[in-house]
Amino acid sequence: MTEISKVIQSQIDDNAVMLFMKGTPQFPQCGFSAAVVQILDYLGVEYSSANVLEDQDLRQGIKEFSNWPTIPQLYVKGEFVGGCDIVREMFEQGELRPFLQSQGVVEASA
């Protein structure tokens, strides 16, 4: 396992919800990252993030780690969920909230 793979695995292991994105949740640097942040914030998800623009090794490493070519990438409880298109589709189909609830990272709505 490469050094960057160890860093990525550690971030995924240490955070129930981990978003690898361009920019930060407060200042996303691409529309796709902004869309995922908006969805997670709307659902009230507590998550950690890593800005791939700050580290070229991370930017390339996460693509190789997940075998997924695009960023953002969302991990929940150690499992790769997907990128913007998958997260958006799950949200629009009403599948994302129940999935996140089943993982214990979003409370059931009243």
Q: What is the pLDDT along the chain (110 residues), one digit of tens a residue?
A: 799 999 999 999 999 999 999 999 999 999 999 999 999 999 999 999 999 999 999 999 999 999 999 999 999 999 999 999 999 999 999 999 999 999 999 887 64
Show me where the domains of the chain are located. Answer: 3-102
**Distance in angstroms (rounded) separating the CA atoms of residues 31 and 10:** 27
The superfamily (CATH) of domain 3-102 is Glutaredoxin (3.40.30.10)
Which pTM value belongs to this model?
A: 0.95
Token code pair at residue 10: 């550690």
* Whole-number pLDDT of residue 10: 98
Closest CA to 13 of 65, 62, 76: 76
* Whole-number pLDDT of residue 1: 78
Contacts of 83 (CB under 8 A, 6+ apart): 32, 36, 68, 70, 71, 72, 73, 74
